[in-house]
């Protein structure tokens, strides 16, 4: 029931979003034909190519065509490279996903222990240090942080390569070294957000009667924090992680540019510049599916964490 | 208990407010419905105080809000001096608001934290464009010093003082009926006595008709001329206050009195022999008499047939198949 | 609610002001224009003439940073105003109107959020032209969904409050309710978010500029400056550092101000452990003979050091308690009765100071550290609180919670603990205890939850059970059941009970002894029946006469205690009750009355009541009618 409802929602969002982006892209000046043939091409050859690519059809027809193909799992063929868009995406997606997952591991792996420790002694040195650090990280744009980290780790100390990507399937070790710096760059800002959210919610939870009663039952602070307080305090954190994941599926372009990673964000940017509409459309599909799927996953996690949200 | 019927209503020309077959329901999610109030009727004569008492979930607050049409009841009639309020909408309904005011339970959250007392109390006259500035007079009437109180904001006052401000806000409109929804249950004993005394004074001074809702029978008895006992959205018993407390005939009223430490001076059997278990959910109320799941006198008839309100004494009404006769 | 903003915020606000001013007055400031190539060598470091040095083309970096601020702040301000202007009305409408309006607005909002921001921004900026206006519109529009969400949430939280209902009862029109009741309350979160939004937009603009998609050269932007400077990193680091630092400080300032504004409406921030060791001197802890009783409290004090002064929440309380007895502590809110319990248990917030002694079977608990207290708390002292709705952890099953003390303190195996938990739940009258183990608190009624908390408190067979208003949140018929249960358990387990309550009739019926508290002090103590029948201290007397009783005639005038309790931070000299006491004389204002020596029924008053005037009624039967 819930799943069906979700699926319907996914479809609606998908259709609306792809349609809007289809219209948006077509409204923009410039078209693939000029891009391919150059400005000097004759009107005749332009018309021929336009017909060949199906660009002479009305917008709605082209959209429905494309949608029909999508329903059958076909993302279409790029006007520019004449390659199937699906294959291109399939090649790029793992890079972005790996980056995202690695960044979340970095962010959460740091945020949870630090947030808990800060809440445990709210107002004291560690907490104040965390507050200062998180404000600093929050206020450092990701490209500034990235430049800084490259300078330190790649240029000065030469621990990891500055740019480039080695796929997981090629070599695990190289893959890890190429993902570590981007992931840390991306994860740092999120670590600050997460740690602050968790700290605030934990502090609120620690005022609850059931925590005082747990202390009155002689349980240790460690047990109270990890077993009693953490789970009820995690809702906002989960929401934030979900929103981030949803937003970042196509939003890692800065990192990808900075570190020269062949990810989805970079692909979309390049495709927009080359008027490669269908590739952009494919990216849009990925992003909106990702958004809805992450939302769905977040709801599932909510239910697992807080029984009050669970439906009987 | 848990009965319906209108036998106890007085003729229209004797009453100021007449509530008939009031039904309040709201959705509970997943297509289910909370049956908060199911066919409750009562009336008030001018200058009378009607107390409504019952435990949480009995529908007393939902009934109060339905009286002021916020939100309007699912069905039933609320007539103020012959005017059918449930038929009114929009501006026509708004025009009646002045005559029917309300005081809420939580003295803190019923005052806007960002406004000054003078604006809070003066809001009514401004909305109604009444001539003259009576804020000082009303503040004094509720026992606040206008000179020091009027320019301050709610958070500078104690709970009792906030409740006085709420009362002033309602009174300044010269309403005919004031509905008090648990006005003292958030207050300490000593402050509660102050507010109860104040309400009695104001009632005389401004010739108010009051509906006084509370869960504490002793508080209700203190201010009410008649008391209506509710259980799970239904009327159990209605009688003049002294009569209800000294001669409770409904099994639920008796259980309520017996549960109060001291038992009201009556020689009732211990409470645990008069009532058992917990109240059922108003989403799925029992058939027949709604009290039957906890009633020691329940018989098969109670499950199949809903008791109707009938007279058992001088202005003493109740809804039960097997009332206690003494 | 009003709190100080703190020094840092003023500093941040000052920095924002400075940057803003510089950006506005850039044309009049005494430095070269941003695109002017200077005579000196390019890439020269900071000097007096060029505080931030010059860049690769020999242009003044300070000038470029200041002119860059025009773009950053201009875009930020414009985008935030756009987001606010569109998002706030929609959010208020959605939150206040609900139903269809809300559903439509939120559905559109959802789609807007799912729409890839990047594609939108890139497409518009790349093709419509990378100028200030387009960047501003793009970032403004992208911010709208968050604004709608935020404002709707804030509106919803206030639209539910009773003061909005009250306004509608007054006959106020919707438009006026929105303007007068809701808007002022939504303004604070909106202002806070405006600052945080500024930070977000400034960063976003920087990112676009970094990708070469913001306002184009030669107009400098912060992001563009950083991107340019990147190539000179090794030879002239100041070129990249200057804009980076300025941008960082600006974003930091916006974040700080926004965060502090939000904190104005936030909860108090206290962790699990004390903020710092109390700075004030320890309170006097006079020595006393340790008696042969179960619980002996001697001169217990709990003070809080606050900005308003020292709040004396508990001020020299002593009592003893034996097994099988119930001691009631009565008083109104602020009398210190709940704080007294927390003080005995050592569960005080970090800002407090405790003095005096607490002996449990002769052991001084005040000498114990937190680690030593834990086994005592879990095993020998049990606790039940007022509100069963908040007393259980909402995300853990009843079984886990009831079994936990058994496993931690008694080291039972899972199976043993389970069996014991089932038995415990049955003993507090819970039907079908085996099934109950798997349920969550929100699935139970208030009465059932309170039974569960009692079961948990009793699990390790404590010597003393502390019950803080255990039935106040319950309905009267359920209250009777729970009190009867407590009474039965006390007898079965031969424990002592400390019952805190504001309800005199409850105390009269169930307690053996009673302590009356006022302003942190014991003002009267004695056998319950006697104190209620013959109160000596005027406050006790007034309290008894202020409470309505079923046996009073209808419209009976209750005794009114004028005024309100004193401020615990500024206690009056003399008797704390004197301002409200009808019998007060001069001496009462000057000298505090001590608790009289009478061991049986002491009281603190210079002019006590004769002790015969109180009505002889049901209350007097209290202590012996508890068989009910
Ligand atoms: S005797 Fe029957 S009708 Fe009367 S209250 Fe009990 S269950 Fe209801
Ligand atoms: S000491 Fe004086 S002021 Fe205090 S209670 Fe006794 S008579 Fe009243």
Could you tell me the pLDDT band of residue C4, with boundaries at 50, 70 and 90?
low
Among candidate residues A241, A208, A242, A114, the one with its CA nearest the CA of residue C395: A208
Q: Tell the residue nearest (CA) to atom 3 of ligand 2.
A: C578
More confident residue, C573 or A34: C573
In a domain, B53, yes or no: yes
In a domain, B82, yes or no: yes
Query: For tokens 């049409």, what's the residue?
Result: B69
Q: What pLDDT score does C102 carry?
A: 82
Distances (CA, A) of A139 to A188, B196, C117, C627: 11, 56, 21, 68
Q: Give pLDDT tens digits for C159-183.
A: 878 899 899 888 888 889 888 888 8
Do A47 and A149 reside in the same domain of the chain?
no
Look at residue B306 and give its three-state secondary structure: coil
Do A66 and A117 reside in the same domain of the chain?
no
Q: What pLDDT score does C267 carry?
A: 41
Decide if pLDDT at C623 tops 60. Answer: no
Q: What pLDDT score does B62 carry?
A: 92
Could you tell me the pLDDT band of residue C277, with boundaries at 50, 70 and 90?
very low
Decide if pLDDT at A299 tops 70. Answer: yes
Query: For tokens 């200058």, what's the residue?
Result: B47
Give the span between the Cα atoms of A148 and A133, in whole angstroms: 16
Q: Give pLDDT tens digits for A40-74.
A: 777 787 788 777 777 777 888 888 888 888 888 78
Binary contact (C272, A231; C-beta < 8 A): no
Q: What pLDDT score does C270 carry?
A: 46
Could you tell me the pLDDT band of residue A30, with boundaries at 50, 70 and 90?
low
Q: Tell the residue nearest (CA) to atom 1 of ligand 2.
A: C605
Overall size of chain B counted in residues: 326
Do A250 and A156 reside in the same domain of the chain?
yes
How far away, in angstroms, is C518 Cα from ligand 2 center?
A: 12
Do A123 and A269 reside in the same domain of the chain?
yes
Do A49 and A6 reside in the same domain of the chain?
yes
- Mean pLDDT, residues C239-258 taken together: 89
Contact list, C160 vs chain B (CB under 8 Å):
none
C252 CB neighbour count, 10 Å cutoff: 19
| Domain end call among A71, A105, A123 | A71
Chain C (255-284) residues lying within 8 Å, Cβ to Cβ, of chain A: 255-256, 259, 266-273, 275-276
Give the span between the Cα atoms of A253 and A96, in whole angstroms: 9
Binary contact (B70, C163; C-beta < 8 A): no
Q: What pLDDT score does C445 carry?
A: 86
- Mean pLDDT, residues A91-99 taken together: 88
Is the CB of residue B35 less than 8 Å from the CB of residue B233?
Answer: yes
Is the CB of residue B103 less than 8 Å from the CB of residue B167?
Answer: yes
Q: What pLDDT score does C617 carry?
A: 42
Query: For tokens 């010269």, what's the residue?
Result: B174
In a domain, A79, yes or no: no
In a domain, B170, yes or no: no
Give the span between the Cα atoms of C480 and C474, in whole angstroms: 9
Q: Give pLDDT tens digits for A247-275.
A: 776 667 888 888 888 888 888 888 887 87
Binary contact (C550, B260; C-beta < 8 A): yes
Number of domains in chain B: 1
Binary contact (A135, C375; C-beta < 8 A): no
In a domain, B133, yes or no: no
Contact list, C180 vs chain B (CB under 8 Å):
112, 115, 123
- Closest ligand relative to C594 C-alpha: 2
Q: What pLDDT score does B24 carry?
A: 94
- Cβ of A247 under 8 Å from any chain C Cβ? yes
Among candidate residues A214, A157, B60, B97, the one with its CA nearest the CA of residue C404: A214
Q: What pLDDT score does C323 carry?
A: 92
In a domain, B163, yes or no: no
Per-residue pLDDT tens listing for chain B (326 residues): 456 778 888 888 889 999 999 999 988 777 789 999 999 999 999 999 999 999 888 999 999 999 999 889 999 999 998 899 999 888 899 989 999 999 998 888 899 988 999 999 999 999 898 887 889 999 998 989 988 888 998 888 888 899 999 999 999 999 999 999 999 988 888 889 999 999 999 998 888 999 999 999 999 999 999 999 999 999 999 999 999 999 999 999 999 999 988 777 778 888 888 998 888 988 899 999 999 999 999 999 999 999 999 999 889 999 999 998 76
Contacts of B271 (CB under 8 A, 6+ apart): B255, B258, B259, C477, C480, C481, C628
Binary contact (A207, C390; C-beta < 8 A): no
Q: β-pairing, B177-181 with B209-214?
A: parallel
Calculate the average pLDDT of chain A.
Answer: 82
**Chain A: closest CA distance from residue C196 (Å):** 10
- What is the DSSP-derived secondary structure letter of residue A40? T
Binary contact (C558, B193; C-beta < 8 A): yes
As a dihedral over the C-alpha atoms of residue C105, residue C108, residue C114, residue C116, rounded to 10 degrees, the angle is -120
More confident residue, C7 or C408: C408
**Closest residue to C409, CB basis, from A140, A209, A218:** A218
Give the span between the Cα atoms of A50 and A33, in whole angstroms: 7
Contacts of A115 (CB under 8 A, 6+ apart): A130, A194, A195, A196, A197, A198, A199, A202
Task: State phi, psi for B281 to the nearest 5 degrees.
Answer: -75, 135
Q: Give pLDDT tens digits for B59-77.
A: 999 999 999 998 899 999 9
List residues bridging with B239 in a β-sheet: B227
Task: State which residue of chain B sits closest to C485, comparing Cα positions.
Answer: B272
- Closest ligand relative to B295 C-alpha: 1
Do A104 and A32 reside in the same domain of the chain?
no
In a domain, B199, yes or no: no
Pocket, ligand 1, Cβ cutoff 6 A: B 1, 251, 289, 291-292, 295, 297-298, 302, 307, 320-322
Q: What pLDDT score does C618 carry?
A: 38
- Cβ of A222 under 8 Å from any chain C Cβ? no
Lowest mean pLDDT among A142-146, C119-123, C239-243: C119-123
Decide if pLDDT at C616 tops 60. Answer: no
More confident residue, C576 or C132: C576
Decide if pLDDT at C312 tops 80. Answer: yes
Q: Tell the residue nearest (CA) to atom 6 of ligand 2.
A: C605
Is the CB of residue A96 less than 8 Å from the CB of residue A265?
Answer: yes
Task: State phi, psi for B88 to the nearest 5 degrees.
Answer: -90, 150
Pocket, ligand 2, Cβ cutoff 6 A: C 537-538, 575, 577-578, 581, 583-584, 588, 593, 605-607
Binary contact (C166, B114; C-beta < 8 A): no
Direct distance between the N- and C-terminal alpha carbons of chain C, in angstroms, rounded to an integer: 46
Burial B184-196 (b: 16+ CB within 10 A, else e): bebbbbbbbbbbb
- Domain housing B59: 15-99+177-183+209-319
Q: Which two tokens stand for residue A152?
A: 């330190």
Could you tell me the pLDDT band of residue C285, with boundaries at 50, 70 and 90?
low
- Mean pLDDT, residues C69-75 taken together: 89
- Mean pLDDT, residues C225-242 taken together: 79
Contacts of C172 (CB under 8 A, 6+ apart): B123, B127, C180, C181
Query: For tokens 């692909």, what's the residue?
Result: A267
Do A217 and A301 reside in the same domain of the chain?
yes
- Mean pLDDT, residues C290-310 taken together: 85
Decide if pLDDT at C266 tops 80. Answer: no
Do A54 and A164 reside in the same domain of the chain?
no
Number of domains in chain A: 2
Among candidate residues C464, C345, C377, C528, the one with its CA nearest the CA of residue C516: C528
Give the span between the Cα atoms of C253 and C272, in whole angstroms: 30
Do A56 and A181 reside in the same domain of the chain?
no
Could you tell me the pLDDT band of residue C401, with boundaries at 50, 70 and 90?
very high
In a domain, B295, yes or no: yes
Could you tell me the pLDDT band of residue C351, with boundaries at 50, 70 and 90?
confident
- Domain housing A26: 2-71
What domains appear along chain C, each with residue ranges and CATH number? 52-264 (1.10.3720.10)
Give the span between the Cα atoms of C372 and B20, in whole angstroms: 65
In a domain, A80, yes or no: no
**Closest residue to C255, CB basis, from A139, A142, A288:** A139
> Best interface-test mutation with A: which of C119, C123, C200, C388 has the largest number of A CBs within 10 A?
C119
Decide if pLDDT at C294 tops 70. Answer: yes
Q: Tell the residue nearest (CA) to atom 4 of ligand 1.
A: B320
Do A20 and A142 reside in the same domain of the chain?
no
Task: Give percent of chain A above pLDDT 90.
Answer: 11
In a domain, A306, yes or no: yes
Contact list, B170 vs chain C (CB under 8 Å):
169
Could you tell me the pLDDT band of residue C628, with boundaries at 50, 70 and 90?
very low
Calculate the average pLDDT of chain C.
Answer: 84
Q: Which two tokens stand for residue C611?
A: 């002790």
In a domain, A86, yes or no: no
Q: Is this structure's pTM higher than 0.90?
A: no
Contacts of A227 (CB under 8 A, 6+ apart): C396
CATH number assigned to the domain comprising residue A299: 1.10.3720.10
Could you tell me the pLDDT band of residue C95, with boundaries at 50, 70 and 90?
confident
Binary contact (C374, A305; C-beta < 8 A): no
> Best interface-test mutation with A: which of C116, C127, C278 has the largest number of A CBs within 10 A?
C116
Do A107 and A8 reside in the same domain of the chain?
no
How far away, in angstroms, is C221 Cα from ligand 2 center?
A: 74
Contacts of C557 (CB under 8 A, 6+ apart): B197, B200
Task: Give percent of chain A above pLDDT 70.
Answer: 94
Contacts of A299 (CB under 8 A, 6+ apart): none
Binary contact (B224, C554; C-beta < 8 A): yes
In a domain, B155, yes or no: no
Q: Tell the residue nearest (CA) to atom 5 of ligand 1.
A: B1
Binary contact (C267, A207; C-beta < 8 A): yes
Task: State which residue of chain A sits closest to C263, comparing Cα positions.
Answer: A200
- Closest ligand relative to B286 C-alpha: 1
List residues bridging with B52 in a β-sheet: B213, B228
In a domain, A82, yes or no: no
- Mean pLDDT, residues A276-284 taken together: 84
CATH number assigned to the domain comprising residue B52: 3.40.50.300
- Mean pLDDT, residues A182-202 taken together: 90
Lowest mean pLDDT among A86-90, A152-156, A201-205, C452-456: A152-156
Do A153 and A31 reside in the same domain of the chain?
no
H or E element at residue A74: none
**Closest residue to B264, CB basis, from C162, C547, C551:** C551
In a domain, A84, yes or no: no
In a domain, A85, yes or no: no
Among candidate residues A111, A116, A23, A19, the one with its CA nearest the CA of residue A70: A19
- Cβ of B235 under 8 Å from any chain C Cβ? no
Lowest mean pLDDT among B31-45, B211-225, C205-219, C329-343: C205-219
């Amino acid at each position: 029931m819930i799943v069906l409802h979700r699926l319907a929602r996914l479809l609606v969002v998908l259709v609306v979003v792809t349609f809007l982006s289809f219209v948006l892209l077509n409204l923009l000046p410039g078209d693939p034909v000029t891009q391919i043939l150059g400005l000097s091409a004759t009107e005749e050859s332009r018309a021929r190519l336009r017909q060949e690519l199906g660009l002479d059809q009305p917008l709605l027809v082209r959209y429905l065509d494309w949608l029909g193909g999508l329903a059958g799992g076909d993302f279409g063929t790029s006007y520019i490279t004449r390659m199937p868009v699906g294959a291109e995406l399939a090649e790029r997606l793992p890079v972005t996903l790996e980056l995202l997952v690695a960044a979340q591991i970095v962010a959460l792996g740091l945020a949870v222990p630090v947030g808990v420790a800060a809440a445990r002694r709210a107002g004291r040195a560690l907490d104040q240090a965390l507050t200062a650090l998180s404000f600093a990280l929050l206020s450092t744009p990701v490209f500034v942080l990235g430049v800084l980290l490259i300078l330190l780790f790649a240029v000065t100390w030469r621990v990891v390569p500055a740019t480039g990507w080695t796929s997981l399937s090629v070599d695990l070790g190289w893959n890890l070294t190429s993902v570590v710096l981007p992931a840390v760059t991306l994860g740092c800002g999120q670590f600050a957000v997460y740690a602050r959210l968790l700290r605030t919610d934990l502090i609120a939870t620690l005022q609850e009667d059931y925590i005082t009663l747990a202390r009155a039952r002689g349980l240790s602070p460690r047990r109270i924090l990890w077993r009693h307080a953490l789970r009820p305090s995690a809702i906002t954190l989960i929401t934030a992680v979900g929103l981030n994941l949803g937003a970042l599926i196509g939003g890692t372009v800065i990192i990808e540019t900075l570190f020269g990673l062949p990810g989805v964000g970079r692909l979309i940017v390049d495709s927009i510049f080359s008027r490669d509409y269908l590739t952009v459309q494919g990216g849009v599909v990925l992003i909106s599916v990702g958004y809805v799927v992450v939302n769905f996953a977040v709801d599932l996690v909510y239910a697992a964490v807080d029984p009050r949200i669970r439906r009987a | 208990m848990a009965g319906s019927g209108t036998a106890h209503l007085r003729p229209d020309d004797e009453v100021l407010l007449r509530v008939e077959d009031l039904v309040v329901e709201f959705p509970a999610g997943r297509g289910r419905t909370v049956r908060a109030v199911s066919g409750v009727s009562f009336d008030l004569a001018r200058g009378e105080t009607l107390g409504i008492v019952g435990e949480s979930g009995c529908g007393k607050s939902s009934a109060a809000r339905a009286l002021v049409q916020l939100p309007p009841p699912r069905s039933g009639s609320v007539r103020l001096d012959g005017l059918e309020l449930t038929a009114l909408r929009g501006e026509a309904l708004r025009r009646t608001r002045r005559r029917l005011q309300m005081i809420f339970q939580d003295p803190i959250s019923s005052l806007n934290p960002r406004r000054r007392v003078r604006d809070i109390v003066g809001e009514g006259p401004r909305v109604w464009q009444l001539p003259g500035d009576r804020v000082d007079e009303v503040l004094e009437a509720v026992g606040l010093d206008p000179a020091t109180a009027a320019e301050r904001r709610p958070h500078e006052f104690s709970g009792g003082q906030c409740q006085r401000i709420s009362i002033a806000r309602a009174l300044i409109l010269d309403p005919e009926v004031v509905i008090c929804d648990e006005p003292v249950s958030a207050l300490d004993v000593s402050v509660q006595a102050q507010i109860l005394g104040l309400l009695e004074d104001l009632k005389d001074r401004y010739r108010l008709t009051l509906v006084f809702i509370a869960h504490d029978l002793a508080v209700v008895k203190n201010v009410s001329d008649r008391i209506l006992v509710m259980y799970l959205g239904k009327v159990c018993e209605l009688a003049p206050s002294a009569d209800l407390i000294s001669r409770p005939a409904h099994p639920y009223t008796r259980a309520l009195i017996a549960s109060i430490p001291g038992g009201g001076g009556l020689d009732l059997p211990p409470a645990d022999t008069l009532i058992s278990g917990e109240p059922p959910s108003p989403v799925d109320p029992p058939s027949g008499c709604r009290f039957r799941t906890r009633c020691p006198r329940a018989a098969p008839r109670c499950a199949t047939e809903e008791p109707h309100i009938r007279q058992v004494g001088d202005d003493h009404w109740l809804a039960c198949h097997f009332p206690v006769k003494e | 609610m009003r709190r100080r903003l703190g020094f840092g915020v003023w500093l941040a606000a000052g920095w924002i002001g400075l940057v803003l001013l510089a950006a506005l007055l850039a044309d009049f400031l005494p430095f070269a224009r941003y695109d002017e190539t200077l005579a000196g060598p390019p890439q020269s470091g900071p000097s007096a003439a060029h505080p931030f040095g010059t860049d690769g083309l020999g242009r003044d970096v300070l000038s470029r940073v200041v002119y860059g601020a025009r773009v950053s702040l201009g875009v930020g301000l414009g985008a935030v105003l756009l987001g606010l202007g569109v998002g706030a009305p929609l959010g208020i409408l959605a939150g206040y109107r609900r139903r269809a309006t809300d559903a439509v607005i939120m559905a559109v909002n959802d789609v807007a959020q799912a729409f890839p921001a990047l594609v939108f921004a890139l497409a518009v900026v790349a093709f419509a032209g990378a100028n200030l206006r387009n960047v501003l519109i793009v970032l403004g529009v992208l911010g709208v969904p968050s604004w709608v969400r935020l404002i709707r949430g804030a509106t919803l939280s206030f639209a539910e409050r009773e003061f909005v209902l009250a306004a509608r009862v007054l006959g106020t029109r919707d438009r006026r309710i929105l303007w007068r009741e809701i808007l002022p309350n939504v303004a604070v979160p909106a202002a806070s978010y405006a600052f945080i939004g500024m930070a977000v937009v400034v960063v976003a603009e920087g990112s676009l500029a970094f990708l070469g998609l913001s306002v184009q050269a030669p107009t400098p932007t912060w992001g563009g400056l950083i991107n340019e400077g990147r190539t000179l990193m090794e030879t002239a680091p100041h070129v990249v550092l200057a804009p980076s630092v300025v941008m960082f400080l600006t974003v930091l300032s916006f974040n700080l101000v926004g965060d502090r504004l939000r904190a104005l409406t936030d909860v108090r921030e206290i962790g699990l452990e004390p903020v710092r060791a109390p700075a004030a001197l320890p309170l006097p802890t006079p020595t006393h003979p340790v008696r042969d009783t179960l619980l002996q409290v001697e001169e217990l004090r709990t003070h809080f050091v606050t900005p308003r002064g020292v709040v004396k929440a508990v001020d020299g309380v002593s009592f003893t308690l034996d097994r099988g007895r119930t001691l009631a502590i009565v008083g109104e809110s602020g009398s210190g009765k709940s704080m007294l319990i927390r003080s005995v248990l050592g569960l005080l917030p970090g800002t407090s100071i405790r003095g005096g002694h607490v002996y449990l079977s002769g052991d001084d608990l005040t000498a114990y550290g937190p680690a030593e207290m834990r086994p005592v708390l879990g095993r020998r002292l049990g606790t039940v609180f007022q509100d069963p709705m908040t007393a259980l952890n909402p995300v853990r099953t009843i079984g886990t919670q009831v079994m936990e003390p058994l496993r931690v303190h008694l080291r039972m195996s899972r199976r043993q603990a389970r069996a014991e938990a089932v038995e415990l739940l049955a003993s507090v009258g819970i039907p079908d205890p085996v099934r109950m183990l798997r349920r969550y608190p929100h699935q139970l009624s208030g009465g059932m939850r309170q039974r569960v908390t009692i079961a948990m408190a009793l699990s390790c067979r404590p010597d003393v059970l502390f019950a803080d208003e255990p039935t106040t949140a319950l309905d009267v018929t359920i209250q009777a059941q729970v009190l009867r249960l407590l009474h039965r358990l006390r007898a079965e387990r031969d424990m002592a009970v400390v019952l805190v309550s504001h309800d005199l009739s409850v105390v009269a019926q169930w307690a053996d002894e009673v302590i009356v508290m006022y302003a942190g002090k014991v003002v009267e103590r004695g056998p319950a029946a006697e104190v209620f029948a013959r109160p000596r201290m005027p406050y006790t007397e007034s309290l008894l006469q202020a409470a309505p009783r079923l046996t009073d005639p209808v419209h009976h005038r209750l005794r009114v205690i004028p005024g309100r309790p004193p401020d615990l931070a500024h206690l009056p000299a003399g008797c704390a009750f004197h301002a409200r006491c009808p019998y007060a004389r001069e001496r009462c204002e000057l000298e505090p009355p001590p608790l009289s020596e009478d061991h049986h029924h002491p009281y603190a008053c210079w002019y006590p009541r004769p002790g015969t005037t109180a009505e002889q009624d049901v209350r007097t039967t209290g202590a012996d009618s508890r068989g009910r």
